[in-house]
Amino acid sequence: MNDAIDPEITAQVASLAGAARLGARAVGLLSRADKDAALHAMADALDSASAQIIAANQGDVARGREEGLDQGLLDRLRLDQVRVSAVAQGLRDIAALPDPVGEVVRGSTLANGLQIRQVRVPMGVVAMIYEARPNVTVDAAGLALKSGNAVVLRGGSAASQSNRALVAVLRGALQAQGLTPDAVCLLEEGGRDAVRALMTARGLVDVLIPRGGASLIQTVVRESTVPVIETGVGNCHVYVDAGADLDKALAIVVNSKTHRVGVCNAAESLLVHRSIAATFLPMVLAELGAAGVTVHGDAELELLAKEAGAPYSLATEEDFAREYLSLDISARIVDSLDDALAHVQRYSTGHTEAIVTEDRGAARRWVAEVDAAAVMVNASTRFTDGGEFGFGAEIGISTQKLHARGPMGLSELTTTKWVVEGDGQIRA
């Protein structure tokens, strides 16, 4: 942040954010019916334009492959007919959700007759800085619109063609509905200076949400003067307790790790209680190995992994702290629930932590003592998701503790104001 930002780029970003602010004023006054109609129009437009969107995305994927983008990021980047249809359906799902704007959070009538109520209102201009996730472009636009906000999107360069195509379709659909297209703005040019200008556009941007790798998120948290909601990386653990049903545990571990590897709620670490390790580890290592997962563990696990035919690598300290986003998982045998809790406390990123156990006492301790946005008991880590929680599409998963924590849906994109109605009361 010591280097000066190009004044021309600062002016361009300010102009874009200013347009979004005017858009936010218009969107914030729309009825639910108008917002829902716009969401359906945007969804229909995406379906109609799927061929051109996929063609643009193929250009991004080809370039990413040439530049050596890893498989996890390529998976996040890729759009096909199924995924375009899914993001379009996500907009329809958002339309079906209750409108949070105007919801009364609490209220009362005071002894002096004043009626007071706290109501949900839009944030205003929400900015998103994110990496190779073109679906985020659509999710963020839809959630912002439904919650009465305008959105400024800054996607990673890896998805530039995809994002340009998606935003053009969304803006066109808004315009066709007679609404301002500046409810959805894309910041395309300007490189790092543009990102820095967006992070310091205090007064034009109301809240900034970074979504991506640890480096991106921490850069935004450190350098932004705009208020930030911090989404987190996911070093998610599955702990298989002494009291686990091993069939459940096997299914949960494999699903948590392999269902989709390039996402933040995929399991990256496996802990197994010593009393069941000799029985359970050969089972789970064989399944993980068959799925192509490389296990990173200490020497104690190496022999079991070789016997199970699982790819294996001796773990370093960094391996236990990594978010792999790939077919890799760290693993360790622990002597007790206390040891498992201590391991999680040391390495967790506070995203999602799962225990598999039929011991209610162990489950209660896990829920009470693990400090994470989501705590699972006998369920896959892959369920930490706005859609799975019934929120519709999510704008991210917050691992901070202020304002929002966990999957962020519509309510998390609102703030509140106090409305006070009287009949001439004055304060004595």
- Rounded Cα–Cα distance for residues 28 and 150 (Å): 8
pLDDT tens sequence for the chain (428 residues): 457 888 999 999 999 999 999 999 999 999 999 999 999 999 999 999 999 999 999 999 999 999 998 887 888 899 999 999 999 999 999 999 999 999 999 999 999 999 999 999 999 999 999 987 899 999 999 999 999 999 999 999 999 999 999 999 999 999 999 999 999 999 998 888 999 999 999 999 999 999 877 888 889 999 999 999 988 789 999 999 999 999 999 999 999 999 998 889 999 999 999 999 999 999 999 999 999 999 999 888 888 888 888 899 999 999 999 999 899 999 999 999 999 999 999 999 999 999 999 999 999 999 999 999 999 999 999 999 988 888 877 888 998 888 889 999 899 999 999 999 999 999 98
**How far is it, in rounded angstroms, from Cα 375 to Cα 335?**
21
User: Residue 1: its pLDDT value, please?
Assistant: 45
| Range 236-383 has CATH code 3.40.309.10 | yes
How far are the Cα atoms of 186, 220, 232, 363, 402 from residue 213, in angstroms, in the given order?
20, 11, 8, 31, 21
Q: What is the pLDDT of residue 2?
A: 53
Pick the CATH number of 7-230+400-421 from 3.40.1190.20, 3.40.605.10, 2.60.40.1930, 3.90.180.10: 3.40.605.10
Residue 381 and residue 415: Cα distance in Å, rounded? Answer: 29
| CB contact at 8 A, 263 and 76 | yes
pTM for the structure as a whole: 0.85
And the tokens for 310? 């699982």
Q: Are 125 and 20 in contact (CB under 8 A)?
A: yes
Q: How many CA atoms lie within 13 A of 336 on its CB side?
A: 4
CA distances from 285 to 260, 289, 308, 316, 417 (A): 18, 6, 6, 19, 53
Common-topology check for domains 7-230+400-421 and 236-383: no
The pLDDT of residue 4? 84
Give me the residue spans of the domains in the chain. 7-230+400-421, 236-383
Q: How far, in whole angstroms, is CA 310 from its chain's centroid?
A: 31
How long, in residues, is the chain? 428
DSSP 249-281: HHHHHHHHHHS-TTSTTSEEEEEEEHHHHHHHH
